[in-house]
């Protein structure tokens, strides 16, 4: 594995524009900014069944997933010297000629009316050994998820990092004019497919946050010109009003156990403070009392502290306070503007919005070394959210006058833009890992 | 100073007129505190600015009996500019004179920076207006505040001309 990784670093950078699966809902136009792609071959899967063709193009989804990670360059099908579907048919010399590091083969086998078996194997072309092989049952309805799961397994074997192709992303869109706008809260697969609008309003929607079990989203809605925090169950669409006090109700974020929300409450006098709401008892505990703006609270993965934005020192900076209160401790010191903290799920890094020479950029603060790394290059970049593998971030930026999403690796090396034709798209939040 | 105030009042009234629905009749209009009565010097000054400016000033005169409903702020500021003191006094008087009157103060920020923090900046502006109205005689139960942060811009665009229209508090009479 180490060998593979080292080889990738010497592969020349590819600058490509690539439209993923034709019906992708983001209209995923991927633009590479940096990073080197390793050549891999995803051979078209074989088909064994009564129907003329397989019901779903599994290898196409795997290929698009690996491409979208920024780390791989799948070999075009028409450049392949052979298209084996069984391991005995692989001629590794053919793939060495194409300078491919890994080759993936597979089959879709029909086992019933709407029952299939999807199998795949990935091989290291240099060692000629199998890296991973797996067989999964599928129906027409689950075939796409099965393909993402296969891509996740292949990705983890090749990089040592768990894949996040089976995850979801929630985001907010805004369309229309200044005086007539429609806001939607959307949940889609991480590749932009299966878009589902869970809430639509002529008043602003903001700050979506996933529950740790991925079943619910908390968000702020301004229906009737007041701010209200709702928690909505995705499957049923039912929602509960969990905070509608006078003044500001904002910035919800779930505790790791899912039982509490950290919220910003402003009260009638508009002093924004960090509060914790127990979802079962509805009891509210105020954690900060400073007269400054204290907002954008987020839990540490261990559940013991809350990071938040405060301008108690003048400009906004990130602070940390224990869940039982106490004196907040300042976390960020570099620069005049550090806001909207989000912890990586492994607890080692903090993503935030950082003012860098006049531009608002996404930066990653290494909590151990205290190094701050700017990972985006726009002027108005905001709302960073870590993938559940802690290795990538998604954030909102501006491109051609519209809000668009970009994904970047936490080291800033791999970055792609996901272009949309949905108007303004903002506030992406990456879901936890799916439950298989 | 008078000239500046007059010009500003005219511009604000124009903006309000252009947006529609942002102004309401002012029962205290007879007091005439918003604009001084006809002063040749001022009128001349406006005419010096060109024909277009002259016409705009005429329009603004028609708005004299209405109260401006939008207050603008400087970058990263929630301090009320001195030019709004008369206007806010008139809103306060209106609230003090009619205990049934109710307003909602809607705070806004420009798009720069993070969204929830901008909600805080918008609220800070709403509260600055609220405090002044309370000091000047309005009652706490007549005023509610909300902040839309950068979520409901008055003007699209990513330049200062849009930003200065978006950093604002809108005064909405709800009763």
- Contact (CB<8Å) A295/B151: no
Nearest residue of chain B to residue A396 (CA atoms):
B114
Are the beta carbons of A340 and B117 separated by less than 8 Å?
Answer: yes
Rounded to a whole number, what is the distance in Å from the CA of A346 to chain B's nearest CA?
24
Task: Assess contact for A248 and A264: CB atoms under 8 A.
Answer: yes
- pLDDT tens, residue by residue, A157-194: 999 999 999 999 999 999 999 889 999 999 999 988 88
Taking the CA of residue A340 and the nearest CA in chain B, the distance in Å comes to 6
- From the CB of residue B164, how many other CB atoms can be counted at a distance below 10 Å? 16
Q: Look at residue A350 in the predicted model and tell me its pLDDT.
A: 98
**Between chains, do A204 and B152 touch, taking CB under 8 Å as contact?**
yes
> Average pLDDT for residues B152-171, to the nearest whole number?
95
Whether the pLDDT of residue A200 is over 60: the answer is yes
Work out the pLDDT band at B37, boundaries 50, 70, 90.
very low
Residue B80 pLDDT class (50, 70, 90 cuts): very high
Instruction: Provide DSSP, A178-230.
Output: SSSEEEEEEEEETTS-S-EEEEEESS-EEEEEE-TTSSEEEEEE-GGGS-EEE
In chain A, the domains with their CATH numbers are: 2-13+37-159 (3.40.50.10070), 168-430 (2.120.10.30)
Q: Express each pLDDT in A286-328 by its tens digit.
A: 999 999 999 999 999 999 999 999 999 999 999 999 999 999 9
Mean confidence (pLDDT) of chain B: 73
Burial, A66: exposed, middle or buried (Cβ in 10 Å; 0-12, 13-18, 19+)?
buried
**Mean pLDDT, rounded, for A44-67:** 94
Q: Which chain B residue is nearest to residue A220, measuring alpha carbons?
A: B116
A36: confidence class by pLDDT, cuts 50, 70, 90: confident
CB contact under 8 A, B146 and A316: no
pLDDT at position B146 over 60 = yes
Q: Which pLDDT value is given to residue B12? A: 37
Number of inter-chain CB pairs under 8 A, A vs B? 105
Does pLDDT of B2 surpass 90? no
Of A256 and B30, the one with more pLDDT? A256
Distance from CA of B62 to the nearest CA of A (A): 25
* Burial readout A37-48 (b: 16 or more C-beta within 10 A, e: otherwise): bbbbbbbbbbbe
Mutation site for B-interface testing, chosen from A248, A356, A383 by largest number of B Cβ within 10 Å: A248
Average pLDDT over residues A235-256: 97
Inter-chain touch B121–A181, beta carbons under 8 Å? no
Check CB contact of B151 with chain A, cutoff 8 Å: yes
| Residues from chain B contacting residue A307 (CB–CB below 8 Å) | none
Of the pLDDT bands very low, low, confident and very high (cuts 50, 70, 90), residue B10 is: very low
Report, as an integer, the average pLDDT of A240-248: 97
Can you tell me the distance from the alpha carbon of A171 to that of A169, in angstroms, rounded to the nearest whole number? Answer: 7
Place of tokens 């600058």: A15
Going by pLDDT thresholds of 50, 70 and 90, the confidence category of residue B81 is very high
User: What value does the mean pLDDT of chain A take?
Assistant: 90
Measure the CA–CA gap between A232 and A238, rounded to whole angstroms.
6
Tens digit of pLDDT for each residue in B105-134? 999 999 999 999 999 999 999 999 999 999
Report yes or no: A181 at the B interface, CB cutoff 8 Å: yes
Q: What is the mean pLDDT of residues A362-388?
A: 97
- Nearest CA of chain B to the CA of A163: how many Å? 29
Structural domains for chain B:
1-68 (no CATH), 69-175 (3.30.1330.60)
Nearest CA in chain A to B143: A268
pLDDT of residue A418: 80
B-contacting residues in A 314-343 (Cβ below 8 Å): 316, 337, 339-340
List CB contacts (< 8 A) between B124 and chain A.
270, 293
For chain A positions 210-269, those within 8 Å of chain B (CB to CB) are: 222, 225-227, 246-248, 250-251, 264, 266, 268-269
What's residue B65's pLDDT?
Answer: 44
Q: Is B121 on the interface with A (CB under 8 A)?
A: yes
Indicate whether this complex's ipTM tops 0.95. no
Name the CA radius of gyration of chain B, rounded. 16
- A contact test, residue of B108, B119, B162 with most A CBs within 10 A: B119
Q: Does residue A12 register a pLDDT over 50?
A: no
Between CA A241 and CA A430 the distance in angstroms is: 23
For residues A322 and B76, the model is more confident at A322
Cβ distance A382 to B114 less than 8 Å, yes or no, reads yes
Residue, of B18 and A49, whose pLDDT is higher: A49
* B49 CA: distance to closest CA in chain A (Å): 30
Please give the Cα distance from A200 to A183 (Å, whole number).
Answer: 6
Under an 8 A CB cutoff, do A427 and B130 touch? no
Classify A334 as helix, strand or coil: coil
Q: Strand, helix or coil at B42?
A: helix
């Amino acid at each position: 594995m180490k060998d593979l990784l080292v080889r990738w670093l010497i592969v020349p950078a590819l600058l490509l524009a690539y439209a993923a699966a034709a019906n992708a809902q983001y209209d995923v136009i991927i633009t590479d900014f940096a990073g080197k792609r390793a050549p891999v071959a995803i051979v078209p899967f074989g088909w064994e069944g009564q129907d003329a063709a397989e019901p779903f193009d599994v290898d196409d989804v795997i290929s698009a997933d690996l491409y979208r990670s920024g780390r791989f360059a799948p070999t075009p099908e028409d450049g392949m010297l052979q298209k084996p579907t069984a391991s005995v048919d692989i001629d590794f010399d053919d793939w060495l000629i194409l300078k491919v590091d890994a080759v993936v083969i597979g089959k879709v086998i029909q086992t019933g009316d709407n029952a299939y078996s999807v199998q795949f194997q990935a091989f290291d072309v240099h060692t000629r050994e199998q890296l991973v092989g797996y067989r999964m049952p599928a129906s027409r309805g689950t075939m796409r998820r099965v393909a993402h799961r296969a891509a996740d397994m292949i990705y983890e074997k090749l990089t040592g990092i768990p894949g996040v192709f089976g995850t979801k992303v929630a985001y907010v869109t805004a369309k229309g004019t200044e005086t007539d706008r429609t806001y939607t809260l959307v949940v889609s697969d991480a590749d932009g497919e299966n878009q589902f609008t869970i809430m639509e309003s002529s008043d602003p929607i903001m700050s979506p946050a996933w529950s740790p079990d991925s079943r619910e989203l908390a968000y702020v809605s301004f229906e009737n010109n007041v701010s209200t925090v709702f928690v909505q169950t995705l499957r049923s669409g039912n929602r509960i009003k969990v905070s509608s006090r006078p003044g500001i109700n904002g910035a919800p974020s779930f505790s790791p156990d899912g039982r509490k929300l950290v919220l910003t409450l402003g009260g009638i006098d508009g002093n924004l403070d960090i509060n914790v709401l127990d979802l079962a008892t509805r009891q509210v505990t105020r954690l900060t009392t400073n007269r400054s703006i204290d907002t954008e609270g987020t839990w540490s993965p261990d559940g013991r502290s809350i990071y938040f934005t405060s301008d108690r020192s003048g400009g906004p900076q990130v602070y940390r306070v224990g869940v039982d209160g106490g004196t907040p401790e300042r976390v960020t010191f570099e620069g005049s503007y550090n806001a909207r903290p989000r912890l990586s799920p492994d607890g080692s890094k903090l993503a935030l919005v950082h003012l860098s020479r006049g531009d608002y950029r996404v930066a990653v603060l290494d909590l151990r070394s205290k190094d701050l790394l700017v990972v985006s290059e726009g002027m108005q970049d905001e709302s960073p959210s870590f993938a559940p593998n802690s290795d990538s971030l998604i954030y909102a930026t501006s491109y051609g006058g519209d809000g668009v999403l970009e994904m970047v690796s936490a080291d800033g090396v791999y970055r792609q833009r996901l272009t949309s034709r949905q108007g303004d798209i903002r506030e992406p939040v990456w879901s936890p890992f799916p439950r298989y | 100073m008078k000239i500046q105030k007059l010009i500003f009042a005219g511009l604000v009234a124009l903006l309000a007129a252009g947006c529609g629905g942002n102004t309401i009749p002012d029962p205290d209009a007879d007091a005439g505190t918003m604009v001084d009565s006809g002063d040749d010097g001022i009128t001349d000054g406006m005419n010096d600015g060109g024909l277009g400016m002259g016409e705009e000033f005429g329009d603004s005169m028609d708005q004299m009996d209405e109260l401006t409903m939008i207050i603008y702020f400087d970058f990263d500021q929630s301090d009320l500019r001195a030019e709004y003191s008369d206007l806010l006094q008139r809103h306060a008087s209106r609230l003090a004179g009619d205990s049934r009157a109710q307003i909602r103060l809607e705070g806004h920020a420009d798009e720069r920076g993070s969204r929830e923090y901008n909600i805080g900046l918008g609220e800070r502006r709403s509260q600055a207006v609220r405090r002044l109205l309370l000091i000047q005689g309005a009652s706490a139960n007549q005023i509610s505040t909300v902040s839309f942060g950068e979520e409901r811009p008055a003007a699209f665009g990513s330049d200062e001309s849009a930003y200065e229209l978006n950093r604002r508090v809108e005064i909405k009479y709800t009763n």
